[in-house]
């Protein structure tokens, strides 16, 4: 299926409503920052950024006039200190803003800031984007429902995101996957199944290979691979359920083939069940925080009526839960989807407990 038919051509940015703004403030996501996204658009010129193979990266390196550069550099150092330290100016003297890159590809059109510690040449990145409510929901859900914590800040129309380290999925598939051992390929297949399931459960769409990274973790005498989403623009927007399942994007074809060749059907089902159970446990452990976010999302406008109608019908066909047909917003669809996963996990757990209680007297008699 072509990308044009699978996804909408353009997703609008949705404003942060008062309830979401209060939520962000309560959980220390809303902090005053000294620079806005629009300030960085005042660059005087740019040059194309190429990779090690002289291929266009779709990023351009921007530069500013001398007067503006001084002010922007200082502001970016302040943002770095707020994001990664205590917000004080004591570390400014050790920092240098090596590059400001701008990407015109995709919805978010982010700026990527490279900051280097001049004492040891260690560097890190962070991103500055336009604020979008659906992206914020995506970041918060990733923080609570995935194995990873995320650090981001919101102030008015500007969103600051920390860099998620890893090997871009498209680069890994092209350059590194062919050299993986058979054992590593089997482990990657398992991770892709779990990643695919996690995205569908929390309705995170558009996980094409360049929107996630592969993270190699060295464990004793072997390498374990993890898959992390890095783009959260398509949280709860599209109407087609397939958009929320990475397996249906042609860019992930090789990963899907890996699953087919390395895993049996019962293993795939086992890994799906494991991921659903893990997500259900995270929903339960997130307590009031995720309850507040879901309540806000239910009343928020983060998609079109057409997409909402389409998605609730697709999920009803999958779950046969009539409650989905009554949803009026995309937030309500998300809330029910998470409830469905949690309820199924609790029902299975209760069944196991009851079975154990029934068996215990019989075991005592033996």
pLDDT (0 to 100) of residue 153: 96
For the CA atoms of 171, 59, 154, 206, what is the dihedral angle to 10 degrees?
A: -40
Q: How many angstroms separate the CA atoms of 219 and 122, rounded?
A: 24
Q: How far is CA 297 from CA 40, 136, 281, 348, in A?
A: 30, 11, 21, 28
Q: How many angstroms separate the CA atoms of 18 and 230, rounded?
A: 26
pTM for the model stands at 0.91
Q: Which residue has 């658009």 as its token pair?
A: 41
Q: How many angstroms separate the CA atoms of 214 and 221, rounded?
A: 19
DSSP-assigned letters across all residues of 269-292: HHHHHHHHHHHHHHHHHHHHHHHH
Ranges under pLDDT 50 in the chain: 1-4, 350, 353-354, 358-366
User: To the nearest whole number, what is the mean pLDDT of the chain?
Assistant: 91
Cβ-contact 95, 118 below 8 angstroms: yes
For the CA atoms of 346, 349, 351, 354, what is the dihedral angle to 10 degrees?
A: -120
pLDDT (0 to 100) of residue 291: 97
pLDDT (0 to 100) of residue 365: 33
Residues 6+ apart with CB under 8 A from 208: 169, 170, 246, 249, 251, 252
Q: How far apart are the first and last CA of the chain?
A: 59
pLDDT (0 to 100) of residue 358: 47
Closest CA to 21 of 115, 142, 124, 156: 156
pLDDT (0 to 100) of residue 2: 46
For the packed helices 330-365 and 265-299, what is the interaxial angle rounded to 10 degrees? 130
Q: What is the pLDDT of residues 205-250, one digit of tens each?
A: 999 999 999 999 988 888 899 999 999 999 999 999 999 999 999 9
């Amino acid at each position: 299926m072509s990308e044009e038919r699978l996804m909408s051509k353009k997703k609008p940015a949705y404003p942060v409503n008062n309830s979401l703004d209060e939520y962000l403030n309560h959980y220390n996501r809303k902090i005053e920052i000294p620079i806005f996204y629009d300030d960085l658009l005042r660059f005087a010129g740019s040059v194309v950024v190429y990779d090690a193979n002289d291929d266009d990266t779709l990023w351009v390196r921007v530069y500013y006039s001398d007067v503006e550069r001084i002010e922007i550099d200082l502001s970016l150092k302040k943002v770095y200190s707020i994001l990664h330290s205590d917000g004080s100016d004591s570390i400014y003297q050790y920092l240098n803003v090596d590059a400001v890159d701008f990407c015109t590809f995709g919805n978010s059109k982010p700026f990527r800031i490279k900051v280097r510690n001049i004492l040891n040449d260690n560097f890190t990145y962070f991103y500055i984007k336009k604020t979008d409510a659906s992206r914020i929901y995506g970041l918060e859900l990733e923080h609570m429902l995935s194995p990873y914590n995320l650090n981001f800040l919101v102030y008015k129309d500007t969103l600051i995101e920390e860099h998620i380290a890893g090997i871009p999925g498209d680069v890994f598939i092209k350059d590194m996957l062919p050299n993986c051992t058979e054992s590593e390929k089997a482990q990657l297949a398992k991770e892709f199944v779990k990643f695919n399931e996690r995205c569908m459960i929390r309705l995170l769409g558009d996980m094409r290979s360049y929107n996630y990274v592969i993270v190699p973790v060295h464990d004793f005498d072997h390498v374990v691979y993890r898959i992390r989403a890095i783009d959260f623009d398509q949280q709860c927007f599209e109407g087609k359920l397939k958009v929320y399942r990475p397996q249906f994007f042609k860019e992930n074809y090789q990963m899907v083939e890996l699953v087919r060749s390395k895993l049996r059907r019962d293993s795939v089902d086992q890994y799906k069940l494991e991921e659903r159970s893990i997500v259900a446990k995270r929903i339960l452990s997130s307590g009031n925080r995720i309850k507040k976010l879901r309540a806000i999302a239910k009343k928020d406008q983060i998609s079109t009526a057409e997409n909402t109608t389409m998605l609730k019908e697709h999920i009803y066909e999958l779950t046969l839960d009539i409650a989905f047909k009554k949803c009026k917003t995309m937030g309500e669809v998300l809330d029910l989807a998470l409830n469905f996963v949690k309820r199924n996990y609790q029902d299975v757990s209760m069944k196991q407990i009851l079975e154990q209680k029934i068996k215990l007297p019989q075991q005592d008699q033996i």
